[in-house]
Amino acid sequence: MLSEKQKLVLIIFLTIAFLSYSVYLYTFLPYKQRKISEQCVKGMDLWQKYNCNACHQVYGLGGYLGPDLTNVYSKRGPEYIAAFLQSGTQIMPKFNFSEDEIKSLLAFLEMMDKSGKADPRTYKINKDGTIEY
């Protein structure tokens, strides 16, 4: 069993280690800020307006009725996605999107596709706890 003094030293050590690592993560690691086009922002607004996340996932987060759409742009292509958006399916309703809305949603899905891979099996965990994909 640890004495009171040993417990205090351990708590102080863990607190300092946690704070030091937090400062390191948020201060020294490079952060790539991407420029997002106006059309992509409109696509993101449509994604939220029609609550696409209720049925679809992005990076595995969201509903499970439809597929994960994180990397659908590179896997299926814009024509395939546009066909689904125009016609719907038995499960996905037809939203009657305009051509501009479809282009905006495609821009949003392309941006999500370029942001990384959705399959966690492809991630590499670094020694400092960060993840490469």
Specify whether 47 is located in the same domain as 26.
no
> pLDDT tens digits, residue range 49-64?
999 999 999 988 889 9
For 87-111, what is the mean pLDDT?
A: 94
Average pLDDT over residues 37-50: 96
Residue 26 lies inside a defined structural domain of this protein: yes
Residue keyed to tokens 């992509």: 40
DSSP states along 113-127: HHT--S-GGG-EE-T
Which domain covers residue 14, as residue numbers? Answer: 1-31
State residue 34's pLDDT score.
73
pLDDT-based confidence at residue 19 (cuts at 50, 70, 90): very high
pTM summary value: 0.68
Does 85 reside within a domain? yes
pLDDT of residue 115: 85
Distance, CA of 124 to CA of 132 (rounded, Å):
5
* Domains held by the chain: number: 2
